[in-house]
């Protein structure tokens, strides 16, 4: 197909593409300086494609396309080297407790048109809560015990069984989304790395939950909010969400 760009536009596009490529290379180099990056480099030396293949293993990136640096992921690369089994080669047998304290991705967002939005993200071993104007409202480095308690709460509240979507056809109100991925997500074949994946007709437990809703909530949602508040060590997120179409937890009011 013939390009419709003018010579000047082609020049600008080429410049933009080269800038993007250089920025991507810098992000990758910066990642290799982190603890996770160093572990990945060792992993690639062991499991990378043999010469003359020029490309290394694909580096795992978050749902938003960001290189992840946290201890759980670094340990996963090192454990794979020790066991001699590359990630995603097969379904790895694990005890039910192995997922505890091994969350590699966590994002939670909640809000609405009138109350604003807050987004919780886990990056570089630190949790941040970010407001509407990209200001950081909370930062916290959870302890191993706090991670363990939070991971246990996901099982106790049956978060892994939540549906993909909860919807109520009401304008405005409250919207929310949740993404949790554990190291186990990387220990199953790539084609099974998706919500509600199955292996041998059985769920892959403690792997990934990716769900959300608008003015409707899964069971135990308010208790999940309590668990999030415990993880960040402060009562930041409001509780009291109920499946009433016009319930406002901030004012404890039902609008008829």
pTM metric for this prediction: 0.80
Helix (H, G, I), strand (E, B) or coil at 229: helix
Query: Residue 223's closest CA among 130, 152, 142?
Result: 152
What confidence tens digit (pLDDT) does each residue in 183-217 have?
888 877 766 665 554 445 555 677 889 999 998 99
Residue ranges per structural domain of the chain: 8-83, 103-254
Q: Which pair of tokens denotes residue 1?
A: 């197909």
Q: Give, for 20, the enclosing helix (H) or strand (E).
A: helix 7-32
Query: Residue 211's closest CA among 60, 99, 61, 107?
Result: 107
Query: Residue 34's closest CA among 74, 93, 6, 84?
Result: 74
Query: Residue 16's closest CA among 31, 32, 5?
Result: 5
| Residue 196 pLDDT | 53
Ranked by mean pLDDT, which of 14-28, 92-106, 162-176 comes out on top? 14-28
pLDDT at 49 over 90: no
- CA-CA distance, 191 to 187, in Å (whole number)? 11
User: CATH number of the domain at 103-254, please?
Assistant: 3.30.1560
| Residue 251 pLDDT | 53
- The answer to whether the CB of 216 falls within 8 A of the CB of 166 is yes
């Amino acid at each position: 197909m013939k390009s419709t760009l003018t010579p000047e536009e082609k020049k600008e596009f080429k410049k933009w593409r080269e800038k993007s490529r250089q920025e991507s290379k810098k992000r990758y180099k910066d990642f290799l300086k982190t603890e996770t990056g160093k572990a990945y480099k060792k992993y690639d030396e062991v499991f990378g494609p043999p010469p003359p293949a020029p490309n290394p293993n694909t580096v795992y990136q978050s749902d938003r396309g960001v290189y992840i640096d946290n201890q759980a992921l670094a340990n996963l690369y090192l454990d794979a080297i020790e066991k001699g089994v590359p990630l995603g080669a097969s379904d790895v047998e694990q005890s039910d407790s192995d997922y505890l304290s091994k969350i590699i991705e966590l994002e939670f967002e909640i809000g609405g048109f009138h109350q604003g939005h807050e987004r919780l993200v886990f990056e570089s071993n630190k949790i941040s809560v970010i407001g509407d104007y990209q200001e950081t409202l909370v930062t916290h480095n959870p302890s191993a015990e706090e991670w363990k308690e939070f991971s246990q709460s996901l099982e106790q509240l049956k978060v892994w069984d939540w549906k993909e979507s909860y919807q109520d056809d009401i304008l405005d109100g409250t919207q929310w989304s949740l993404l949790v991925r554990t190291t186990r997500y990387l220990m199953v074949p790539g084609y099974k790395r998706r919500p509600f994946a199955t292996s041998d007709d059985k769920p892959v437990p403690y792997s990934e939950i990716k769900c959300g809703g608008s003015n409707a909530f899964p069971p135990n949602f308010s208790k999940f909010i309590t668990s999030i508040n415990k993880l960040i060590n402060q009562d930041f997120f409001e509780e009291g969400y109920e499946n009433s179409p016009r319930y406002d937890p901030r004012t404890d009011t039902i609008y008829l």
